[in-house]
């Protein structure tokens, strides 16, 4: 039951609700949207299960302890130095929700059925995002749902494929997650289901291309490369897709990524590159001026003029940074200082170690799932260097949801491989 509710929440996080009239929105100090309402139901349901003894608290572990410390630091920073209650939506999307989902999923005992259920969630969400994205780009537009996707006044990056997120960057990263799960799914099915998996991978890759988002392209390329060399059954399909990408590149199929074009996507839109340079320089200056505690969580928009750093010698003049920070890591350093930035980095260090440990120790389904998690984490880290993921509800929840499952595998694997009960062998034995 919990996983079904989590699946519903993940799907609802693919949409935006403010100023779209797409779904009910309640202003109760914190804006309550449908996905947050489902989260409240999940939390109440989990507490009830815990009190009944049907749900066992698994313990925090190293990541949980770092996450709890990070949560306390950011919350205190927000209300003592920062934006106060105005930053609650960032705290909720970035910390409270993902942390709770991590604990909840980790508490569900590991089983193949658990991994398969989680995989089906992303297959369904990915099918919607990919097919809807194809309709958005190629038509017919009458089939695009919801209609706010076609409204230039909603969201950002209107001229690119941006999906229900109304953001091409968010759509591209979400489709990478779904592509990975379809690749994972393709190793476990045959017949019509296998052809469906191949079709959805092709559509997902095509829509990622039409998103015209550099960070998504780089993340997708990294994922394909690692899949192609990792010791799982997914390496064959990854090699085929790399072959298709290279063939398209040298044949000049796409104008934004072609061997024959003098200007590809990576050389276009230089104004966005200059903007991010100025943004990063300003954010770094903000952090260096307040290295211990930062300027306060949520204060970037009000404080940037004081630390603004234009780019010397740039042909493109950047006058303001009113749309906020564009680097999650630099943003945290600037707003919560080293006391918050260091625990955040430790979270990823422990995540990476657990993911690698499970990948190296397990086989079959668990190994493939852990590799998918590691690739999702790598994509997240790439995207977080070019966007502020503190408002990325979907991406934060997905990352900690998958890690909760992998942490559950690690806990069970540690028990199964424990030397307790085995005869001890002297280190001096020949």
For 292, the 3-state DSSP assignment is: coil
> How confident is the model at residue 87, as a pLDDT?
86
Helices (H), 323-363: 328-361
Range of lowest pLDDT (201-205, 250-254, 314-318) = 314-318
Span 282-298, average pLDDT: 95
> How confident is the model at residue 16, as a pLDDT?
93
Residue of 414 and 227 predicted with greater confidence: 227
> How confident is the model at residue 337, as a pLDDT?
96
The pLDDT tens digits of the residues spanning 377-394 come to 999 999 999 999 998 899
- 31 pLDDT above the threshold of 50: yes
CA angle 75–81–83, rounded 5-degree value? 70
> How confident is the model at residue 263, as a pLDDT?
65
Q: Tell me the pLDDT band of 109, cut-offs 50, 70 and 90.
A: confident
- 260 pLDDT above the threshold of 80: no
The pLDDT tens digits of the residues spanning 129-138 come to 999 999 999 9
d(CA 268, CA 251): 20
> How confident is the model at residue 20, as a pLDDT?
87
Let me know: does 143 contact 94? Beta carbons within 8 Å: no
Q: Tell me the pLDDT band of 184, cut-offs 50, 70 and 90.
A: very high
Helices (H), 139-254: 168-186, 192-210, 214-229, 235-251
Q: Tell me the pLDDT band of 314, cut-offs 50, 70 and 90.
A: low
Span 145-167, average pLDDT: 93
Let me know: does 120 contact 192? Beta carbons within 8 Å: no
Range of lowest pLDDT (7-11, 45-49, 310-314, 362-366) = 310-314
Range of lowest pLDDT (180-184, 244-248, 349-353, 397-401) = 244-248
Q: Tell me the pLDDT band of 238, cut-offs 50, 70 and 90.
A: very high
To the nearest whole number, what is the mean pLDDT of the chain?
Answer: 88
> How confident is the model at residue 424, as a pLDDT?
42
Q: Report whether the peptide linkage leading into residue 146 is cis, meaning its omega lies within 30 degrees of zero.
A: yes
Span 107-116, average pLDDT: 90
> How confident is the model at residue 192, as a pLDDT?
93
Let me know: does 286 contact 233? Beta carbons within 8 Å: no
> How confident is the model at residue 328, as a pLDDT?
95
Span 334-344, average pLDDT: 96
């Amino acid at each position: 039951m919990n996983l079904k509710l989590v699946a519903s929440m993940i799907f609802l996080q693919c949409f935006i609700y403010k100023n779209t009239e797409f779904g009910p929105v309640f202003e109760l100090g914190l804006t309550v949207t449908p996905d947050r309402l489902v989260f409240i139901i999940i939390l109440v349901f989990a507490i009830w299960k815990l009190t009944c003894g049907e749900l066992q608290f698994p313990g925090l572990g190293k990541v949980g302890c770092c996450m709890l410390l990070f949560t306390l630091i950011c919350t205190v920073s927000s209300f003592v130095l920062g934006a106060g209650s105005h930053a609650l939506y960032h705290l909720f999307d970035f910390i409270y929700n993902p942390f709770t989902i991590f604990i909840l999923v980790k508490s569900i005992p590991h089983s193949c059925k658990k991994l398969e259920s989680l995989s089906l969630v992303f297959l369904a969400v990915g099918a919607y995002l990919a097919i809807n994205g194809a309709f958005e780009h190629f038509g017919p537009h009458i089939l695009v749902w919801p209609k706010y996707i076609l409204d230039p006044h909603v969201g950002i990056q209107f001229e690119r494929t941006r999906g229900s997120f109304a953001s091409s960057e968010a759509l591209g990263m979400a489709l990478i997650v779904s592509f990975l799960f379809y690749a994972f799914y393709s190793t476990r099915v045959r017949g019509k289901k296998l052809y469906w998996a191949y079709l959805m991978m092709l559509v997902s890759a095509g829509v990622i291309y039409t998103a015209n988002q550099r960070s998504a392209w780089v993340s997708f390329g990294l994922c394909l490369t690692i899949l192609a060399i990792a010791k799982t059954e997914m390496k064959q399909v990854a090699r085929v897709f790399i072959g298709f990408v290279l063939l398209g590149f040298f044949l000049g199929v796409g104008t934004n990524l072609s061997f024959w074009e003098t200007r590809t996507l990576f050389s276009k839109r230089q104004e966005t590159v200059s903007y991010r340079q100025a943004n990063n320089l300003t954010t770094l200056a903000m952090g260096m001026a307040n290295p211990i505690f930062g300027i306060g969580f949520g204060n970037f928009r009000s404080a940037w003029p004081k630390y603004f750093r234009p780019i010397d010698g740039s042909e493109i003049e950047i006058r303001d940074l009113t749309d906020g920070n564009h680097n999650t890591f630099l943003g945290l350093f600037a707003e919560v200082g080293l006391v918050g930035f260091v625990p955040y980095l430790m979270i990823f260090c422990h995540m990476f170690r657990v993911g690698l440990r499970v990948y190296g120790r397990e086989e079959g389904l668990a190994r493939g799932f852990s590799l998918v998690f590691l690739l999702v984490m790598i994509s997240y880290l790439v995207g977080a260097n070019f966007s502020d993921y503190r408002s990325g509800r979907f991406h934060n929840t997905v990352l900690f949801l998958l890690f909760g499952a992998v942490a559950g595998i690690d806990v069970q694997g540690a028990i199964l491989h424990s030397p307790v009960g085995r005869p001890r062998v002297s280190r001096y034995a020949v």
